[in-house]
Chains A and B, each alone.
Chain A
Amino acid sequence: MAIALGTLLALIAVVVVAYPFLGSKRYRLAPERFVNREKLRAERLRVYRKISDLEADHSSGDLTGSDFQSQRDQLRVTAAKLLREESGPNGPTNDRDEQLEKEISRMRERSARSSGSRDQS
């Protein structure tokens, strides 16, 4: 019984491991373009996170106003560059510009909200 179960286990393992060679599906390495785009996207999200953290630091008084402005502006420029790179030279220009505009206006809104809440105080 134990030997039979062990043999079955080995068979299952062999089939699962050998399947990529036997199946009809063709495999290819992840294209560099796709990987790069994923990396750029991750980098862009990291930049957004940094902006969000900066805003939190500023609102709780961890950062001076001038430091906050200069760091945020730098990060915004970086985010815009990353977004442009992500769309790539062949990406539809209108869509790319539109998305860029949306991102910038979203950042402005967020920034205006946080400044507004500070001003109220």
Chain B
Amino acid sequence: MADLGVMALLLGLALSAYSVIGSAIGVKIGMPALIVSARRALYMTTLAAAVASAALINAFVQNDFSIKYVADHSNSVMERAFVWVAFYSGNEGSLLYIVLALSIMSALAIRFAPKRMAPSMPWTIAVLAAVQLFYFFVLSFFASPFELLETIPVDGRGINPLLTHPGMFSHPPMLMGGLIAITIPFAFASGALISGNYGDDWVDVARVSAILSWGVLGAGLLLGAWWAYTILGWGGYWAWDPIENVALMPWLVLTAFIHSIMVQKRRGMFRMWNVALLNIAFVLAQLGMFINRGGPVVSVHSFASSTLGVIFLSFMLLSLVFAFGLFLWRMPQLKSERAMESFMSREASFLVNNFLLLSVMAVTLWGVVFPLFSDLARDVSVSVSAPYFNRANGPILLGIVLMMGVGPLLPWRKSSARSLKKWFIWPVAIGVLTIVVLVAFGVKRPVAIFSFGVVAFVATSIMQEWWRGTAARHRGGENWALAWWRLVNGNRPRHGGYIVHLSILMLGLGIIGTNFYQQRTDGALALGESLVIDNYRIEYVDNGNSNRPDRIAQWADLSIYRIDTADYATEISFARAQGSDGFTLKDSTPRPNDRLIGQIQPWHGFYPDFNMASVRSGIRSTIVEDLYVIPRDFLSDGRVSLAVSINPLAWWLWASGPFFILGTMVALWPQPAVERRPARSKVRTMAVGEV
């Protein structure tokens, strides 16, 4: 099967090269048959990538350890379900996955592109094929997943234990797929510019493909945070790790794009800006590939041993020169139809939102590249850690959330003082009321309280928008439910956006709660002992272990009790005097108001082949807070070392995911037709380039 895989990759390489050259020459010399042939070559790259992928998956299923990649990333005891994860768990396999995803997306985008884009389509195909060409080239000559071993091992090394988690079935493919999907809107914009199609024809297809890419990337980031929360065993979900950051940056730029493209659609403004945003997003996606593949920074996610750095760096620089060279060449033709009339308008709020999003991107980019520059320029190794990102990005992110509430309240073009007062009064009142109530109830941390106020302001502004629209329809005779449904249905991009905004607010609640109000304690417990934190008592009741060829696992059975803190007043005051959030108890005899509320079984594994430990945290989750227990170690004297935290509002982080996906789908769903299609012309219209 290795031979088949190699042949498929070489075929993909040849087809992509042909597609690039054929498209360009076909347009230049006006040879339609060559253009059609080049397009077909692009379709066929999908088949080549699919066959290569099938050959690799088959090798995993057959335990074909003659292939180095299979021997390095699986073994005979690996659960078969993880074959899919093993496929992209290494550098070479993940590159193959990327080219498979890109070829499928390219074929679909080209097949369903509007016919009016026929003149620019050959250039779009050339750009798509050029990106594929690069990946097929790397796979064929520098990172082949089909490299054979001279001596075939009896068994493989096994899959990286950190990847044996349900989140791994979707997090890496979504993240990689989302990053590479940015190529699609970029190719449509580039194709339009090269062909001199300066109008808004590319806008619709770029908007849809950008939202798709943004949605997939966003869901991938969220799944990654969930994976980190449940498996990495450090109690958090976002560490501003370089690899997380390089996925976040294009997402931020795409967020800016999908807002500002609405201004171009609605008001014919921001043309230059939108092309620049797509260029930045595409180049950042390539930077992500470079950081991830080139191994210039150390990360839990990166393929740090890779030697592909120079190749990916070259491609990123080439992308940068191409994208912005093209932009500068066509800039004079990208003038907006009109200028902004007022800064108190929706388009101005989108501009501010774009500025803030790009500020977060710039701060993050600096944090990612600064260690590289320091290493190169001064030969000093430095690392930029979470406090820098939190301090610099925190206030800007709060500003972005605030703008999510301000934007929808401002009308297009301009607004009057009267309308501003009318639309802002309730959201501002509810925001201020929230702050007053929190202060009155003795909630501490002024920044967090202000942030809750902002969340309340934005939530009220969204609800007010829905209320206003629904009420207007209800006055026209529709019942409330139907009126709301038709309101959302009538402008899906807008109302899908509101649902996404709600999901961001939920995410915001989780971030505020876990960052400002987390409590932590730790301790080593013998059987029968307890650890108390806030109003929880955690009793160590039993343990167990299992030995498998690939891992040694131990677990602790813990009972969770809800306690009345008055029953433990003496111990609590003593612990507080020591500056601790919790304490251990030798005697676990239940006190009068202790109530058993659940049991958890945190788990600790050691993988000798990888010399790596992996944990599964025990989590008891409610909408108010998570009780989060990390089994740090099972000590030789029989005790278990636990790190325990209470993470307020953490549940909302994960609850935001379904709303994010729902909102994205609503925004993507095609709008209802605004007219009946006229009878089609008798001229038979076929796909791009042929009639």
Q: With A2-B2, A60-B472 as known contacts, state yes or no: A28 contacts B691, CB within 8 Å.
A: yes
Residues A52 and B691 in contact, CB atoms below 8 Å apart: no
- On whether the beta carbons of A6 and B411 are closer than 8 Å, the reply is no
- Contact digits for A25-67, partner B, Cβ 8 Å, 1 yes 0 no: 0011111001101110111011011111100110111111001
Give the shortest distance, in Å, between A97 (CB) and chain B (any CB). 15
Report whether B685 and A34 are in contact in the complex, using a CB–CB cutoff of 8 Å: yes
Docked Cα-Cα span, A73 to B487, in Å, equals 23
Q: Is A10 an interface residue (CB 8 A)?
A: yes
Given contacts A17-B44, A56-B469, contact A9 B11 (CB under 8 A): yes
- Sample (27) of A-B pairs whose CB atoms are under 8 Å apart: A2-B1, A2-B2, A2-B4, A6-B4, A6-B7, A7-B7, A9-B51, A10-B7, A16-B43, A20-B34, A21-B37, A27-B690, A30-B691, A35-B116, A41-B116, A42-B114, A42-B116, A42-B201, A56-B469, A59-B473, A61-B423, A63-B412, A67-B413, A106-B675, A117-B473, A118-B475, A120-B475
Q: How far is the CA of A65 from the CA of B300 in the complex (A)?
A: 58
Q: B72 interface residue, CB < 8 Å from A?
A: no
Q: State whether A17 and B37 are in contact (beta carbons under 8 Å apart), knowing that A29-B30, A29-B32, A61-B472 are contacts in the complex.
A: yes
**The 10 A-B residue pairs with the shortest CB-CB distance in the complex, in nearest-first order:** A6-B7, A117-B476, A121-B475, A38-B116, A27-B32, A30-B118, A48-B674, A2-B4, A60-B469, A2-B3
Given contacts A6-B8, A10-B11, A34-B691, contact A16 B3 (CB under 8 A): no
In whole Å, how far is B124's beta carbon from the nearest beta carbon of chain A?
14
User: Which residues of A sit under 8 angstroms from B476, Cβ to Cβ?
Assistant: 59, 117-118, 120-121
In contact, A13 and B15 (Cβ under 8 angstroms): yes
CB closest chain-A residue, reference B672: A52
A6 touches B472 (CB 8 A): no
Q: Does B683 contact A (CB under 8 A)?
A: yes
Bound-state Cα–Cα, A66 to B133, Å: 55
**A30 touching B690 by the CB < 8 A rule?**
yes
Say yes or no for B18: interface residue by CB 8 A criterion.
yes
Q: Report whether A9 and B7 are in contact in the complex, using a CB–CB cutoff of 8 Å.
A: yes
Tell me whether chain A's interface is mostly helix, strand or loop, or mixed.
helix
Contact string against A for B residues 32-43, beta-carbon threshold 8 Å, 1 for contact and 0 otherwise = 111111001101
**Bound Cα distance A21, B469 (Å):** 57
A-B contact sample (6 more), CB < 8 A, given A3-B7, A59-B469: A6-B4, A19-B40, A29-B118, A30-B115, A30-B118, A35-B115
Given A9-B11, A52-B490, does the pair A27, B116 have CB atoms closer than 8 Å? no
Q: In the complex, which residues of chain B have a beta carbon less than 8 angstroms from the beta carbon of A41?
A: 116, 678
Tell me the minimal C-beta distance from B277 to chain A in angstroms: 21
Q: Which residues of B contact A62 (CB under 8 A)?
A: 411-412
Contact (Cβ within 8 A) B491 A53: yes
User: Contact: B11 with A30, CB < 8 Å?
Assistant: no
- Min Cβ gap B31→A in Å is 9
Using a Cβ cutoff of 8 Å, how many contacts connect chains A and B? 156
Cα(A20)–Cα(B686), bound, Å: 14
- CA–CA, A18 and B18, complex, Å: 11
Enumerate B1-30 residues with CB–CB distance to A below 8 Å: 1-4, 6-8, 11, 15, 18, 30
- In the complex, A19→B38 CA distance in Å? 11
Chain A residue numbers with a CB within 8 Å of B7 are 2-3, 6-7, 9-10
A103 to chain B, nearest CB (A): 8
- Residue numbers in A under 8 Å from B391 (CB-CB): none
B179 contacts partner chain A, Cβ-Cβ < 8 Å: no
Take A5-B4, A120-B477, A121-B472 as given contacts and tell me if A13 and B47 are in contact as well, using a CB distance cutoff of 8 Å: yes
Known pairs A27-B32, A60-B468; A9 contacts B37 (CB<8 A):
no
**Interface SS, B side:** helix
Q: Are B477 and A17 in contact (CB under 8 A)?
A: no
* Contact call B47/A9, Cβ cutoff below 8 A: yes
Complex contact A39–B413 (CB within 8 A): no
Beta-carbon contacts under 8 Å, B637-691 to A: 671, 674-675, 678, 681, 683, 685, 688-691
Name the B residues within 8 Å of A39 (CB-CB): 116, 199, 201
Chain B 445-500 residues near chain A, CB threshold 8 A = 465, 468-469, 472-473, 475-477, 487, 490-491
Q: Which residues of A contact B411 (CB under 8 A)?
A: 57, 62-63, 67
Whether B689 contacts A27 by the Cβ 8 Å rule is yes
Q: Is the CB of B44 within 8 A of A13?
A: yes
* Interface residue B591 (Cβ < 8 Å from any Cβ of A): no
B691 pairs with A16, CB closer than 8 A: no
Separation in Å of the A70 CB from the closest CB of chain B?
A: 10
Minimum distance in angstroms from B485 CB to a CB of chain A: 14
User: In the bound complex, what is the Cα–Cα distance between A104 and B41 (angstroms)?
Assistant: 46
Once bound together, how far apart are the Cα atoms of A27 and B6, in whole Å? Answer: 34
- State the CA gap A24–B491 with chains docked (Å): 47
| Closest chain A CB from B681 CB (angstroms) | 8
Q: Which of these, A3, A48, A117, contacts B675 with CB under 8 Å?
A: A48
Quick check: is A112 within 8 A (CB to CB) of the other chain?
Answer: no
The answer, yes or no, to whether B265 is at the interface (CB within 8 Å) is yes
B204 partner residues in chain A, CB cutoff 8 A: 42
Q: Which A residues lie within 8 Å of B465 (CB)?
A: 60
**A-contacting residues, B388-415, CB 8 Å:** 411-413
Which residue of chain A has its CB nearest to the CB of B472?
A: A59
- A12 at interface by CB-CB < 8 Å: yes
Interchain CA distance A2-B40 in the complex, whole Å: 24
Query: Residue on B with the closest CB to A32?
Result: B119
CB <8 Å contact, B115 and A45: no
Residues 316-335 of chain B, each 1 if its beta carbon lies under 8 Å from chain A, else 0 = 00000000000000000000
Which residues on A sit within 8 Å (CB–CB) of B116? 35, 38-39, 41-42
Tell me whether A27 and B36 are in contact (CB under 8 A): yes
User: What CA separation (Å) do A61 and B477 show in the bound complex?
Assistant: 18
B200 interface hit (Cβ, 8 Å):
yes
Bound-complex Cα distance A63 to B149 (A)? 70
Q: Is the pair B200, A30 in contact by a Cβ cutoff of 8 Å?
A: no
**Can you list, as one digit per residue, whether each of A54-91 has a CB less than 8 Å from chain B (1) or not (0)?**
00110111111001000000000000000000000000
Tell me the residues in window 241-292 of chain B with beta carbons closer than 8 Å to chain A beta carbons: 265-266
1/0 per residue B413-443: CB within 8 Å of A?
A: 1001001001100000000000000000000
Contact A53 B266 (CB under 8 A): yes
CA distance A30 to B195 in the complex (A): 14
Q: Contacts of A17 on B, CB cut-off 8 Å?
A: 15, 18, 37, 40-41, 44
Chain A residues within an 8 Å CB radius of B469? 56, 59-60
CB distance from B445 to the nearest CB of A (A): 36
B211 contacts A by Cβ under 8 Å:
no
The yes or no answer to B357 lying at the interface (CB within 8 A) is: no
* Candidates B33, B200, B683; contact of A20 at CB < 8 Å: B33
Most B C-beta atoms less than 10 A away, residue of A17, A37, A50, A120: A17
Q: Provided the pairs A2-B2, A39-B199, A120-B475 are in contact, do residues A16 and B40 lie with their beta carbons within 8 angstroms? A: yes
